[in-house]
Amino acid sequence: MALILGIESSCDETAAAVVRDGEQLLSNVVSSQIATHIPYGGVVPELASREHLRAIVPVVRQAISEASTSLNGIDAIAVTQGPGLAGSLLVGITYAKALVFALAKPLIAVNHLEGHIHAVLLEQRQQESEELSLPALALVVSGGHTHLYVVNRSETAWSYRNVGHTLDDAAGEAFDKVAKLLGLSYPGGPIIEKLAAHGNPLAITMPLSQIKLRQKGVEGSSSPTYDFSFSGIKTAVLRFVEKNAMKDSIERRRKAIEGIPNPAPEDVLAHSDLLTLDLIASFQEAVVQDLVRKTMRSAGDLEVQSLIVTGGVASNGRLRAEFQKRAEAEGFRVLFPSRSLSTDNAAMIAAAAYPKLLQQQFADSRFSAEASLRLGA
């Protein structure tokens, strides 16, 4: 039996969790900085580091206490090495290093993207006695990534082969940028999902980018690559705003929302006309259709056994419903994390660290943050 304390501080959430044997969640504490970044419409890296510094000690203490254990009762400490904001990552890493030094425990460095994949594996193990059928195709879809990986396992070692990624914006980034453009609040994903329910997803035609199958593959590998692109959809929203002279109404909404400290979706809805709601619903639908269509095509080509959809955008209900429908029709099983494990958390970091603990794959005390860390081959 092994207890791992996970620490995650790669972006705008300070998180700590205690997980037993990579599957039992004993605690999962997330302190969000969203309120700090709302006035800027996006994450301000300097403010993020400062907020992590404030939150890290109480968040770790709370995770330890909610797990009914003590720092001495922990077997290993796992921390996110990257990718993410360098200054933010450093807060978690420095604190984790200090803890392992004081406690004489092993330290495990985890890739944030591997964490998102293990959020799903953790819950699958919790709920089922059978292992997931592999290989699986994992779509990691978040604010920084829209990446496809073929996930496999040999004994206790997990492997990841990157078979596709976005050529421009990540899907979550497109949600955030469109929300900013339309004068909605930050982050864009949750508010767009709420408002989209009040619009017609078929009202406005958006361009669907063509799947590009690059025969050369990622980093010169011989296998083909499946690319995504969201800049066309984002530009289509901008053109629609210009063509329909929506700028004034966007400014009025922005001003009205600015005056509300923590705007609820209802506050934003009260300042959104039908044309705006149709645009939001059509934008969300275009992103969802693009993600589902390309992922399903890749899953078919690559002959995988299961599908994993994870990362912040995977909490989108419309995306989940469409994936369920298409996967069922094509005979694939698709798994998502619960909503609380879709967005950034530390349980996924502790879960991804468990196989590394079994293999005694520990981090060197000199390791540092890697803002652009890649996952797999």
Distance CA 242, CA 182 (A): 11
Q: Which is nearer to ligand KG4, 106 or 265 (CB)?
A: 265
CA geometry: angle 331, 293, 161, nearest 5 deg: 80
**Residues 6+ away with beta carbon under 8 Å from 305:** 133, 134, 135, 136, 333
Q: In the chain, what is the greatest distance between 2 CA atoms, to the nearest angstrom?
A: 63
The 10 Å CB-count burial string (b at 16+, else e) for 265-288 is beebeebbeebbbbbbbbbbbbbb
Helices 171-181 and 231-243 cross at an angle (nearest 10°) of 10
Binding region for ligand KG4 (CB under 6 A) out of 29-37, 120-128, 214-222, 308-316: 308-316
Residue 31 touching ligand KG4 (CB under 6 A):
no
Distance CA 354, CA 20 (A): 9
Residue 310 touching Zn ion (CB under 5 A):
no
- Do strands 136-141 and 146-154 pair parallel, antiparallel, or not at all (unpaired)? antiparallel
Minimum distance between the CB of residue 168 and ligand KG4, rounded to whole angstroms? 14
* Binding mask of the shown chain, residues 107 to 146, with x at each position contacting ligand KG4 by CB under 6 A: -----------------------------------xxx--
Q: Which is nearer to Zn ion, 173 or 193 (CB)?
A: 173
Question: Can you tell me whether residue 125 is helix, strand or coil?
Answer: helix
Q: Which is nearer to ligand KG4, 74 or 121 (CB)?
A: 121
- Quickly count helices (H) and strands (E) in the chain: 13, 12
Please select the residue that binds ligand KG4; options are 105, 279, 315, 350, rule is CB under 6 A: 315
Please select the residue that binds Zn ion; options are 114, 193, 322, 344, rule is CB under 5 A: 344
Residue 82 touching ligand KG4 (CB under 6 A):
no
**C-alpha Rg value of the chain to the nearest Å:** 21
Binding region for Zn ion (CB under 5 A) out of 92-100, 134-142, 146-154, 362-370: 134-142
100 binds, among ligand KG4, Zn ion, none (CB under 5 to 8 A by kind): none
Residue 175 touching ligand KG4 (CB under 6 A):
yes
**Residues 6+ away with beta carbon under 8 Å from 46:** 87
265 binds, among Zn ion, ligand KG4, none (CB under 5 to 8 A by kind): none
Tokens linked to 124: 């699958």
Tokens linked to 358: 């079994």
In the block, residue with structure tokens 């922005």: 254
Strands of 76-82's sheet, edge to edge? 24-32, 13-20, 3-8, 76-82, 107-111
290 binds, among Zn ion, ligand KG4, none (CB under 5 to 8 A by kind): none
| 8 A C-beta contact, residue 359 and residue 27 | no
# of chain residues touching ligand KG4 (CB under 6 A): 20
Binding region for Zn ion (CB under 5 A) out of 32-40, 61-69, 136-144, 199-207: 136-144
The DSSP 8-state label assigned to residue 191 in this structure reads H
* Contacts (CB under 6 A) with ligand KG4, residues 246-305: none
# of chain residues touching Zn ion (CB under 5 A): 2
Residue 193 touching ligand KG4 (CB under 6 A):
yes
315 binds, among Zn ion, ligand KG4, none (CB under 5 to 8 A by kind): ligand KG4
Please select the residue that binds Zn ion; options are 31, 124, 142, 289, rule is CB under 5 A: 142
Residue 187 touching ligand KG4 (CB under 6 A):
yes
Residue 337 touching ligand KG4 (CB under 6 A):
no
Q: Which is nearer to Zn ion, 111 or 272 (CB)?
A: 111
Side chain identity, residue 9: S
Binding region for Zn ion (CB under 5 A) out of 103-111, 232-240, 340-348, 367-375: 340-348
| 8 A C-beta contact, residue 144 and residue 83 | yes
Binding site for Zn ion (CB under 5 A): 142, 344
Binding site for ligand KG4 (CB under 6 A): 11, 142-144, 172-173, 175-176, 187-190, 193, 311-313, 315-316, 343-344
